[in-house]
Amino acid sequence: MNNFHNLPRWFQRIIPLISVILSVLTFSYVSYLYNHTALEFVHWIRMIIFTVIGIGLLLSAVIYVYNQETAWKWLKGGLTLLAILLLLPLIMLLMNVIKTAIQAVF
């Protein structure tokens, strides 16, 4: 569904509502992470990525007023960042392996 015009008309109209709801949920999770007692490096990375997602979704709702097709692209772009969050544990594992290898050498 890359083409905005192939979406059902009712879905085209609720894109800003979806964007705002997802943005509020994202910022709520960011505030939860921030108020967490012990923030580790991974939590800071998650917080930054979720903040970028929330800003992208909020911009999608604002852009909808001017250009509906661009708003759809921003919505998809913001939600695409969720893949980075799924890869985050793998990236952290690789960083730990590299750190352990460097410590073993020296």
pLDDT tens profile 4-61 = 778 888 888 888 888 889 898 888 888 887 787 566 777 788 888 889 999 988 999 8
pTM of the predicted model as reported, rounded to 2 decimal places: 0.75
Tens-place pLDDT, residues 78-93: 888 888 888 888 888 8
Nearest 5 degrees, angle CA 56-CA 12-CA 18? 45
1: confidence class by pLDDT, cuts 50, 70, 90: very low
- Ramachandran area for residue 48 (φ above 0: left; ψ -120 to 50: alpha; else beta): alpha
Return the exposure string of 57-78: e unless at least 16 CB atoms fall within 10 Å of the residue's CB, then b. Answer: bbbbbebbeeebeebbebbeeb
Q: Residues 32, 63, 17, 46: what is their CA dihedral angle, to the nearest 10 degrees?
A: -20
Query: For the chain, what are the domain ranges?
Result: 4-105
Q: How far apart are CA 70 and CA 93, in angstroms?
A: 36
